[in-house]
């Protein structure tokens, strides 16, 4: 459970302006206020119930694969057959991401009361999905400890206005031209298909580590500065899991041919990569979302710098509510997803207007956030940084 102690006395009553010119009031409640509101039974974890969800997701992936592999080849029309293969990869990818979420629960200790079992299951599932389990677990824990902190958060760390100016080789923000929608679309495609692997390999969107090569700071490097020294062999074990998966994929291709492997593993794997970036980007990026300097950051404020969204039936029943209850997840990450809605209802009473929820289409939100959230600026010099852009959307940056 995340219970970071708040020892400093941050400023009270801070108000600034979000991307669209709306007043943003910085929350002043504490993590103690949040924890006291959550019913005790929300913390109860069941190994049997969690394993049941793992079995359900794997069973659905096998059934979808078996049905498709058996009947799609019998379809005479090549175009319809291709569309059905595409549908098969999409459906397997949905439940594959469901498995990813359950492995993520293992890393947080929300899967069961037995951390050794959690780690074994998490390592197995994440390795199959091409994610180094312990590497992700350790860097992700640091992300939870410093969410919304401009210099200590571990992922989706935005450019400051000055960094954005320097990136474009300009002297001031007014010299940077608006990005075309075509360019935004290209960024979107790269982010959704390659963003996860780029992050794992180079720590992209993480904190800048000057003087360290891209490989030396990757999630695959046991001596990467993003890990502690005593975590070395866990990173090696994570790498072994990835190697075993690669060998398994190669062996399967030799036994069954490349096409079945592409349809049943590779393209679903791409879908899992997409869903992970899609979900996590929109959990931590929004025109109303703040970032804080060290002076004004607290754990309670950082956890509130997240947003719940709605992805309908898929979000609730296949993605295990990770989208709809993410704010609660950042306050107490060891509450299992099947208790998260009840706990969310409880903390909303404390958070009040500071609880963020967006019910519009997540695809619309994805485009809006890419166009409007390019960098952050602290225009009031209050230690509260809000998103700005050069695309003429919302408040013009100073």
Q: What is the per-residue burial (b if ≥16 Cβ within 10 Å, else e) of 226-255? A: bbeeebeebbebbbebbeebeeebeeebee
Residue 4 has pLDDT above 80, yes or no: no
Q: How far is CA 321 from CA 105, 143, 271, 344, in A?
A: 12, 20, 18, 11
pTM equals 0.94
Residue 135 has pLDDT above 50, yes or no: yes
Give the pLDDT score at 8.
61
Edge-to-edge strand list for the sheet holding 290-292:
290-292, 384-388, 375-377
Other CB atoms closer than 10 Å to residue 373's CB: what's the count? 22
% of the chain surpassing 90 pLDDT: 94
d(CA 353, CA 25): 9
- Of the candidate ranges 5-14, 233-242, 284-293, 323-332, the one whose mean pLDDT is the lowest: 5-14
Rounded to the nearest 10°, the torsion over CA 202, 204, 210, 214 is 10
Q: How far is CA 56 from CA 51, 59, 124, 139, 329, in A?
A: 8, 5, 16, 28, 23
Give the pLDDT score at 3.
43
Query: In this predicted model, which residue has the larger pLDDT, 39 or 208?
Result: 39
23 — phi, psi (to 5°)? -70, 135
* Residue 259 burial (10 A CB sphere; 0-12, 13-18, 19+): exposed
**Which helix (DSSP H) or strand (DSSP E) does residue 379 occupy?**
none
Identify which of 238, 233, 210, 209 has the alpha carbon closest to the alpha carbon of residue 223: 233
Q: Which two tokens stand for residue 118?
A: 């959690």
% of the chain surpassing 70 pLDDT: 98
Mean pLDDT of the region 266-293: 97
């Amino acid at each position: 459970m995340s219970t970071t102690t708040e020892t400093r006395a941050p400023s009270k009553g801070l108000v600034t302006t979000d991307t669209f010119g709306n007043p943003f009031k910085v929350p002043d409640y504490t993590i103690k206020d949040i924890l006291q509101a959550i019913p005790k039974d929300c913390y109860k974890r069941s190994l049997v119930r969690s394993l049941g969800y793992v079995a359900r997701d794997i069973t659905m992936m096998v059934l979808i694969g078996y049905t498709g592999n058996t009947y799609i080849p019998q379809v005479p029309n090549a175009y319809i057959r291709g569309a059905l293969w595409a549908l098969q990869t999409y459906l397997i990818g949905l439940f594959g991401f469901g498995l990813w979420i359950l492995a993520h629960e293992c890393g947080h200790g929300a899967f069961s009361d037995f951390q050794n079992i959690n780690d074994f299951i998490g390592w197995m599932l994440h390795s199959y999905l091409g994610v180094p389990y312990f590497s992700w677990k350790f860097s992700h824990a640091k992300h939870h400890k410093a969410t919304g902190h401009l210099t200590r958060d571990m992922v989706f760390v935005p450019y400051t206005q000055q960094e954005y100016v320097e990136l474009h080789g300009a002297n001031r923000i007014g010299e940077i031209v608006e990005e075309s929608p075509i360019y935004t679309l290209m960024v979107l495609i790269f982010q959704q298909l390659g963003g996860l692997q780029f992050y794992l390999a180079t720590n992209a969107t993480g904190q800048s580590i000057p003087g360290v090569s891209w490989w030396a700071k990757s999630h695959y490097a046991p001596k990467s500065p993003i890990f502690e020294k005593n975590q070395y062999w866990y990173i090696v074990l994570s790498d072994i899991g990835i190697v075993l998966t690669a060998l398994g994929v190669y062996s399967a291709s030799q036994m069954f041919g490349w096409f079945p492997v592409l349809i049943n593993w590779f393209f679903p794997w791409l879908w899992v990569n997409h869903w992970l970036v899609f979900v996590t980007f929109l959990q931590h990026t929004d025109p109303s979302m703040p970032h804080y300097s060290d002076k004004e950051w607290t754990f309670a404020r950082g956890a509130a710098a997240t947003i719940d969204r709605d992805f309908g039936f898929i979000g609730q029943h296949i993605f295990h509510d990770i989208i709809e209850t993410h704010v609660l997840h950042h306050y107490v990450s060891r509450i299992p997803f099947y208790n998260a809605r009840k706990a969310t209802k409880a903390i909303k009473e404390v958070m009040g207007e500071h609880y963020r929820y967006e019910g519009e289409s997540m695809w619309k939100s994805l485009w809006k956030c890419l166009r409007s959230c390019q960098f952050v600026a602290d225009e009031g010099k209050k230690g509260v940084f809000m998103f700005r852009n050069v695309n003429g959307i919302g408040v013009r940056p100073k």
